[in-house]
Structure formats: C-alpha cells, structure tokens
Structure 1
Amino acid sequence: MTITIASQSLSQLPETVAEIYQRFPSLETEALKFVQTPLRIIDKPEGVLYVTQKEYAVLKNDDENLSVIGTDDATTCHMVVLVNRKESSVCVAHIDSTDDLDEELTTMVLDIMGQQHAESDFHLELSIVGGYRDEMHKSEMLTLDLLQFYNDLPVNFQLKSLCVNSVNTRTSNGINWPIIYGVAVDLQSDFTISPAKFNLNVRGPCLSLRSSRFLSSQCSLHRVYHTGEGIFRINPFSYQYHSQMVDWIHKSDDFILNNFSTSPAVEPEHFPQEMKQVFQFVVHNPFPLASVFKFNKSVKYVPSPQGQWLKL
C-alpha cells in the first residue's frame, strides 16, 4: 500500500520537497492557497483541545465537549492531520522527529483507524503542515522522513495537503520565517483545516509539565486524548534535572532562544517566557515520578462544557 496524490501513486519518494511539488503541481497550488487563508485566532477555551510538541489526540465529531482540535508554535516541527471519514474522526499530532518513533507513529495510525483497517477500500486522509526553509534543512528532512514512513505502512493514505518548505516560507531582513505556525481542525465543518494561533489561555491542562518532555532523554510521541475514553491523560515520564535551571530562569531571552530552540531567530515571542515556566516547574519538581506521577499513576483531566479541565 502507498500514498496517493490526486489518484496517482507515490510509488517512489522523490529526494526533495521541490521534486514532489514538481511532480504533483496540484499539491503546491493548494498549499499556496492555504498559506493565504486568513489566520484563525483561538482565544476562548470552550470546546478546544490543544496538543503541544510530542503529543497527539484523536477526536470524533460527536464529542460532547470538544469541537476544535489543533496545535501551534511549530517552526521546524510538523503538524500532521489524519482524517478517518468512515468513523468521522480526526487525529492531530505535533511531531519534531521520526527518530526511534516507528512504534509510536504506527500506534497513532491504528488509533485513528479504529475498526476499519480490514476493509480493502479503506483509506486515511493525510495532511502535513509546517516546517520552512531553515538553514540546517531540518524541516525538509522531517518532511521526507514522514512521507517515507507513511508510504511504507500497509495502509492507504490520500495526501490531501502538503504545506511545507518553500511554500511555507517568507523572507524578512534576510531571514527565512515560517508563514504558518499552527493549525486548527473544526469538527463541525467537515474537518476543515485552518491556519491558526492558539492563545496561551486555551492550551489545556498542565502545559509546563507537558512541555517538559523535551528534557527527557527518551524519544516520544504521547496520545493525550481519545474521544472513546473522554480523558486527557498525561502518562508518567521522567526528565533530566540540571542544577543550572535555577539560573536559566533568570537568563535573558536571547540566552533561552540560542540554547533551547532549533530555530532561535523565528520563534514566537512567548517562547522564552514559556521555557522559563518549564524550568521553574522542573525546579519545583526535580523528580516527577515522586511528586507528579505518584505511585506511577497518570495525571488525568476531563473536559467541561465551559472549557475547563477538571482533574480526576
């Protein structure tokens, strides 16, 4: 099985994104339209499910409390959207690497497939958004790695959107910047994908804890929510505590950007402050398996109609 684009099979993956656009010009045309779509500002928490870096979630369109799912702050990272039309469900993931993640990425596909995988005509709709023409070419390598992974799976994928690399790049003062940093998927509008910005007040529970996963030595991709379960779940993990973190909290924004970002010149303006909040959290919880995940239990929340996350 393989990826198809406008009914054509991607039997052999090109070596560059430019070659993909050249071979399938409709992909580039649609991506150019997408980057010109008005940005959707998500500023109210009601009905919103936000996934951050190293996370994914699965929603069905009949979820009683949630109607929008999305992610934000992607520079070299990619945002992957998988739609299962037969089960009226969508998966959104924020992926920073494919290294050592074959099992997690495969589990994510199985989670969105549900019970349909045995049907011969079954396929998933695949959209990949994010990444830009960065100096180290990290974005392009991630794009190609993701396409190779999905192309090798025994699942039919229809690549509906590929908004990456040159199409998602603007230049200002000699620096390349991403055009789109975030996406939102509307469950009530046929899974329409929009460029989006999520304000900090709508990003769900325990954001500093979830963001601290980047300090873990273990490569990971975590499912945080599935409509079938109805629980926002943060599974136990540990991270590396450094005594210098106390000092990092008081360092300049430039220090934070240059030491903790893959793309320091183009990060969102709140990045340094968000990182300092993560360091502050870790300083207060140097051993999360003891203070946060007591008895090795997950931290769980349920959504309310008012947009609050209630701890179980």
Structure 2
Amino acid sequence: MIYVDGVPFSSKSASSSQGGDTVLALLENPILASASASFNGISVHNYSVSQETESRTPSQQKCVYVFQREYATVDPALVDFVGTDEATTCVALVIRNRRSGMTSVAHMDSPKVVDIGLKQMLTLLVDKDSHDELDVHLVGGFDDASNQKNISGKKRGTIAKPDGYSFPLCAKIILSLQQNRRSFNILTFHVLGNNTRCNADGHPVPIFHGLLVDTSSGSVMAATFDRSTRCPDELIRRIRVSASFEDPRWKGKLLDTYHTQTDRFNIAPCSWSNHLLHIASSVMNLSDSEILLSCSTSPFAESPDFVDNERRLFNYLLHSPDWKDTFPMNQSRVYKRNSDGGWIRC
C-alpha cells in the first residue's frame, strides 16, 4: 500500500491502468510536487575519491555504488552512503526502514525486473511479520516519449517504444508497491515531468541522473559519480549487465553483487556468448553517434562518457573472449574494504 504524508493514496482507476493513473495522480499531488521542487533546489553532489578523501579520516565515508540493474541493501552501521547514477530512462528506487535505518537502493531499467526486484530489496529490510514503516524515494526517468519518434536506435535487447520507456517503468514500480502488503511512504517522486528539462537543442532530458542516500539520516540528494567511485570492478559489473540479458538465471531479477552482512562485494561469475562478442565487434566499428543510436534508449540524454564506457566494455570483451579468464575456476570476484573505506580484491 502507498502512503503520502501519512495518508493512504489511491487512484480510482489504478487497477485498470496498471499503475499509470496512480503515477499521474502522484505527479499532481501538491505535497509531492512541493517535495520535488525542493529537491530541484538542492545542489548536485559530485561524489569523487579526491573530494571525499580531503575531508575524511580512514574508515569514514564508506559508500556502496549501484550500477544499472543492480541493487544493494546496506546497514548504516557499516555504510555511510549508498547511491547510483547514469540513469536516463531508468529509475533509482530507494526503500529505507525508518526504525533500523537499513536502506536498499535499486537501479531499475525495465518493468520486467520490478516484481522480483522489489522482493529482493525487501528481503533484508524487514522481518516477515514486522510492521516497520518504509520510506520510499524515486528519482530518474523523464518525459522521453516525444523523443522516440525522432530516433531509430535501440538499447541492447529492447526496441523503441511510442509511449517511451520511463512511464511504463514508473507505472510498474508504483503498481508493485500498491499491491504489496507493506506500507510505503512516498517522500520523493522526482520522475517523468518532475525530472525533465530541455537541452540546448530542444530535446527533453533528465534534470538529475542519480542520487546519494545518507544512511544515518535517510536524506537523499541528487548526485553524480566519477569513474573512480563507480567501484569496485566497474568494467566487469558493466559487462554483467549486458551478459545478464542472455542469462536465464537472471530473468526478471536485479543483479545481486553486494553482501550486506559482511560489507563486501561478491561478483558472481557470468559468461558472455558468441552473440555478445559479435555485437562487441560490430559496435567497435561504429562512429560515436552510431553507438549512441544503437546502444541507448535515450541518445539525446546520455552523459558525455557514455560512448567511452561502451567502447571500453566491448573492447574488454574482444580482448578477453573467454569469460573463464575473468572468472578463473568459475570463482566469484570478491572485494573487501581497505583502511580508507575503499575496496581491495580478496
């Protein structure tokens, strides 16, 4: 069930619209509209290793970063911040247990991962029979439907949609929250129209691409991360996102890489198929603009390093065509904290 300002929230025709009517009603809710306006007024936090180390002592400022299609549930006793970015048509979903401070962040990229993904997020957030209050924040997605008629490109494994990608994803998230027996207090609904501006060329783009959660207070701020803080194992985790589309074990699921109780990353082995290697070879021959059109759901809205990240990913695949070289003896890649709060491989 969904609550806004402590009051149950519903839309008369929500069941028939598969969550769409409720999304529209939430966008028009004056309390959430005011919260979104306030969110717009907060400066974007640029999270980087150099910036954080200047003002912290060892073992402080411990952060967990979540990539696309990943989720992480963190304990405030072990982790100071958890966040994600690089979201255009994706949505960052935050669920926090108000009593314990346990916080789960997911980078949702498709309606297909929402139902099971929500169950994954709740597993360590609440006890089976508890009635803990759960605070919810949604940031990401934008009014991308008008862009779809202007592009012929597609993201791997998807096709351009006349109603866009962001709205169906938001609708599915809201429907899943509505149908769950838990009580979800929506505090931030900075999605779709609330998260849209026009760029210099007149194309609608997201205002914010990511967020950072302070696990001790529960406060949420807009954020960006640099390559040094999208860790650990940035490139391999990007590859796992691509490989997961062809792996039936991850069908309908979010990628699980972070171990809550030990504060470690455990990146399970994944294989890449000949089909993915063929895609890699094809993409490396494309121009930057062609990569944007063929690899993104929102080529007008991607960050400046999108193409470079795609090239690094596919270049790695071409130089390491056998996945067993990356995961020798089919073993996970495990990372633990170092004395500065960063990550070292075990």
Structure-2-length-normalised TM-score: 0.82
CA–CA distance in structure 1, aligned partners of residues 195 and 279 of structure 2? 36
Q: What corresponds to 1:125 in structure 2?
A: 135
Give the AA of the match of 1:229.
T
How far has the Cα of 1:28 moved from its partner? 1.3
Alpha carbons of 1:235 and 1:171: their partners in 2 closer, same or farther (altered >3 Å)? same
Compute the displacement of 1:182 (Å): 0.9
Kindly provide the CA deviation profile for residues 115-174 of structure 1, in whole angstroms up to 9, marking residues without a partner as x: 3x312x422111111000002421111111001011112211111111101110001332
The percentage of aligned residue pairs carrying the same residue is 26
CA distance in 2 between counterparts of 1:169 and 1:183 reads 16
1:251 aligns with one of 286, 294, 317: 286
Asked whether 1:235 is paired with 2:268, we answer: yes
Local SS of the residue matching 2:204:
strand
Counterpart of 1:292 in structure 2 is: 326
2: CA distance, partners of 1:169 / 1:154: 32
**Displacement of 1:197:** 0.9
Aligned counterpart, 2:151 = none
CA contact (8 A) 1:39 1:194 kept: yes
Residue type of the alignment partner of 1:141:
P
- Alignment of 1:193 with 2:220, yes or no, is yes
Unaligned stretches of 5+ residues in structure 2: 53-60, 146-162
Q: CA deviation at 1:221?
A: 0.8
Separation in structure 2 between the aligned mates of residue 7 and residue 110 of structure 1, nearest angstrom: 24
1:101 Cα deviation from its structure 2 partner: 5.0
Q: Which runs of 5+ in 1 are unaligned?
A: none
Q: 1:56 aligned to 2:71?
A: yes
Give the equivalent residue in structure 2 for 1:310. 344
Give the length in aligned residue pairs. Answer: 303
Q: TM-score, normalised by structure 1?
A: 0.90
Shift of the alpha carbon at 1:229?
A: 2.2
Are 1:42 and 2:47 counterparts? yes
* Letter of the 1:41 counterpart: N
Q: Distance in 1 between matches of 2:114 and 2:139?
A: 19
Counterpart of 2:153? none
Counterpart in the other structure of 2:93: 80
* 1:144-293 mapped onto 2 (5 Å cutoff): 144-172=171-199, 173-188=201-216, 190-212=217-239, 213-215=241-243, 216-218=245-247, 219=251, 220-240=253-273, 241-288=276-323, 290-293=324-327
Ranges of 4+ aligned residues in structure 1 off by more than 6 Å: none
Q: Is the 8 A contact 2:84 2:211 kept in 1?
A: yes
Distance 1:299 1:7 in 2: 43
Looking at structure 2, the residues matched to 255 and 279 of structure 1 have their Cα atoms a distance apart, in angstroms, of 15
Q: SS at 2:174's partner residue?
A: helix
Contact 2:114 2:173 survives alignment (8 Å): no
Superposed CA offset, 1:192-251 (max 9, x none): 100011111111122111111224324441222243122111122233323352353353
| Map of 1:33 onto structure 2 | 38
- Using the alignment, how far apart are the partners of 1:21 and 1:248 within structure 2? 38
**Partner letter of residue 155 of structure 1?**
R
Change in Cα spacing, 1:310 to 1:26, as seen in structure 2 (3 Å) is same
Q: Which amino acid aligns with 1:10?
A: F
Q: 5 Å matches for 1:136-151?
A: 136-151=163-178
1:47/1:305 contact within 8 Å kept: no
The CA distance in 2 between the partners of 1:88 and 1:104, in whole Å, is 20
Q: 2:113·2:254 contact (CA, 8 Å) conserved in 1?
A: no
| 8 Å CA contact retained: 2:139, 2:190 | yes
Contact 1:3–1:9 at 8 Å: present in 2 too? yes
